[in-house]
Amino acid sequence: MADPDVPEPFDASVAGALLEHSPFTRALNLSESLLLTGVAYVDGKPVATVKDLKTNQSYLVSDEPNALGWRLAEASPSMRLDQAEVKIMIGTEIVPVRYSETQMVPQRRSGSRSGFSSSGYNPSRPPTPEEFTGHDDKGAYVRFSPYLSEADREKLRNVSRETREKLINVVHDNRQKMFNYSPDQRASFVKKVFDAVTK
């Protein structure tokens, strides 16, 4: 019979989880290990993609908890990457996540204000959420400029203000449809509207 005063032999298997995910090696500031890589709106709700710099894993975060239990508490997207930020609820902690300095460099060097390609819409390199998402008093909308060809952008520079506003209004009035479209569908829709208002 075992003596109750003598401790039982240590079972190393019970410490497996702690050895693999030691609380002593956990990043004290998750803001430094997580990187914001994109923000988009799906059915009118923000969805963010973040990357863990330590594991190189990417995660999708929305208002519904993901597989890790992370939930998007707040999203503040901006056409200026240095002003964009999301706040993620991880356990009981709210962690602010932003873009890195290196992500902002290409945008600052770009000849285009919004950072999209100056040579027009390229199907092999569709605009990112930061490049195509705009905001007005009705909320987020898909900007049409990133989906125009270079020739149509040049043509747009020479149309009247009234024509330009007509194009903006049609695209903004179809904001939900635009967010649900694929990049190629957006380009096709923008081209159709553009040709209709500029003919």
Query: pTM for the full model?
Result: 0.42
Q: Where do the domains of the chain lie, and which CATH numbers do they carry? A: 28-102 (2.30.30.830), 111-198 (no CATH)
Per-residue tokens: 4 = 């109750």
CA distance 198 to 126: 24
3-state class (DSSP) for residue 59: strand
Tell me if 139 sits within 8 A of 111, measured CB to CB: no
CA distance 60 to 52: 11
Mind listing the pLDDT tens digit of every residue in the chain (199 residues)? 555 666 666 665 655 555 555 444 444 456 677 888 888 888 888 898 888 888 888 899 999 999 889 999 998 876 666 678 899 998 888 888 887 665 554 443 344 444 444 567 888 888 888 778 887 777 788 888 888 888 888 888 888 888 888 888 898 889 888 889 998 999 999 999 999 988 8
pLDDT for the residue 13? 62
* Alpha helices in 72-128, H assignment, sequence order: 101-109
Tell me if 143 sits within 8 A of 115, measured CB to CB: no
Tell me if 68 sits within 8 A of 61, measured CB to CB: no
